[in-house]
Amino acid sequence: MWLADLAGTILLLGLTAYTVLGGADFGAGFWDLTAGGAQRGARLRGMIKRSMGPVWEANHVWLIFVLVVFWTAFPRAFGPVMETLYIPLFLAAIGIIFRGAAFALRGEAATIAEARALGATFAFASVLIPFFFGTVIGAIADGRVPVGGGDPWRSWTGPVPLFAGVLAVAIGAYMAAMFLAGDAARSGFDDMVRAFRARALGAAVVAGVLAIAGLVIIRFEAPGLYDGLTSGPGLAAVAGSALAGLVTLVLVWRGRYEAARYTSAVAVGAVVAGWGFAQRPDFLPGALSFDEAAAGDPTLIALLISIGIAFLVLGPSLWLLFRLSLRGRLDTEFRPITAASRDEE
């Protein structure tokens, strides 16, 4: 059914956008967490807040988009996924709420203790959210979601789901370092260019090693998925991701941060595409195919028309927002962030 295939492609594109943009957003929180002490990490934290400010809410529009397409286009799969994986999904949702509140209120802390609590909430949630989302993807890919619902604990705590959670954190850190290095270079902050350049190179290597190790895990734990990733379109996507990753490393090494943003996004997008190709024609491996999971044709047609209208209305606004942000037109005054900054004002 071509309508189901088209809806599945749109769902995968939305997930790719959230992985790249939302992942970079979460990854910025990872670098906030590991920036160092109050004084040593003040400038890095200030740069992170400055870069995230204009776009952090827009990045998560894609999560809403993915959920709406998922439950509308594939209701027979949406039910089992929510029934089986409600624990990691609930923890991720709670993390998003607390993380957003902490980010918004961070500069309004009245005491050092409040500032530290808000900063810690933002940073730790930024790591836990992609981890839990990653376990959801890993559980689906590993065939741990039966039609009638599965074990709410064992479904997402196996080797493949846990690996996917760790990889999601690494991918977010990788994307964030690329974007932050570009923002620092545009702003002329040489010290932070060097700092985020080192983090970008390190995160790229870690993500690459994890991806290779993950293939070993998948080979033994999910042989069907492994076969899909090592043959046909799945293999092409994996190879494309590796090539884009190598090009990104070269660009970062040479200081070409603007181009590296796009090649790193291609590398991450190819990972998501590879998963989709490897799993096809199954939506829930061993349980439901795309056609079996899909809604009826009238629902799919109405959804696709609605998506087309939505992109005509919202697409130009999102494009303009990111264009202005990448060009620095929305930059605010830079201010290092320390736990004591609010008290000192």
What is the per-residue pLDDT across 211-247, written as a single tens digit (0 to 9) for each?
Answer: 889 999 999 999 999 999 999 999 999 999 999 999 9
Q: Is 339 helix (H, G, I), strand (E, B) or coil?
A: coil
In this prediction, residue 345 carries a pLDDT of 40
Most trustworthy range by pLDDT among 126-135, 198-207, 322-331: 126-135
Neighbouring CB atoms inside 10 A of 205's CB total 13
- Span 180-184, mean pLDDT? 90
Strands 288-289 and 282-284: antiparallel
Neighbouring CB atoms inside 10 A of 316's CB total 10
Task: Provide the residue count of the chain.
Answer: 345
Which has the minimum average pLDDT: 131-135, 166-170, 205-209? Answer: 205-209
| CA 5 to each of CA 172, 239, 261, 283, 308: distance values in angstroms, whole numbers, following the listed order | 28, 23, 29, 11, 16
Distance of alpha carbon 22 from alpha carbon 33, whole angstroms: 17
List beta partners, residue 288: 284
Q: Could you give the number of structural domains in the chain? A: 1
Positive or negative, the CA dihedral 194, 197, 202, 203 is positive
User: Residues 77, 139: contact at Cβ < 8 Å?
Assistant: no
Q: Which residues span the domain enclosing 262?
A: 2-344
Which residues lie below 8 Å from residue 83, measured CB to CB, with a gap of 6+? 149
- Residue carrying the six token digits 């990889």: 167
Contacts 24+ apart (CB under 8 A), 185-188: 185/255, 185/257, 186/328, 187/47, 187/328, 187/331, 187/334
Confidence of residue 194 (pLDDT cuts 50, 70, 90): very high
User: Residues 279, 139: contact at Cβ < 8 Å?
Assistant: no
Confidence of residue 338 (pLDDT cuts 50, 70, 90): low
What is the per-residue pLDDT across 104-116, written as a single tens digit (0 to 9) for each?
Answer: 887 666 666 777 7
- Residue carrying the six token digits 């079996």: 292
In this prediction, residue 344 carries a pLDDT of 42
Q: Transcribe 12-37 into DSSP letters.
A: HHHHHHIIIIIHHHHHHHHHHHTS-S
| CA 7 to each of CA 58, 116, 126, 190, 305: distance values in angstroms, whole numbers, following the listed order | 22, 44, 30, 45, 11
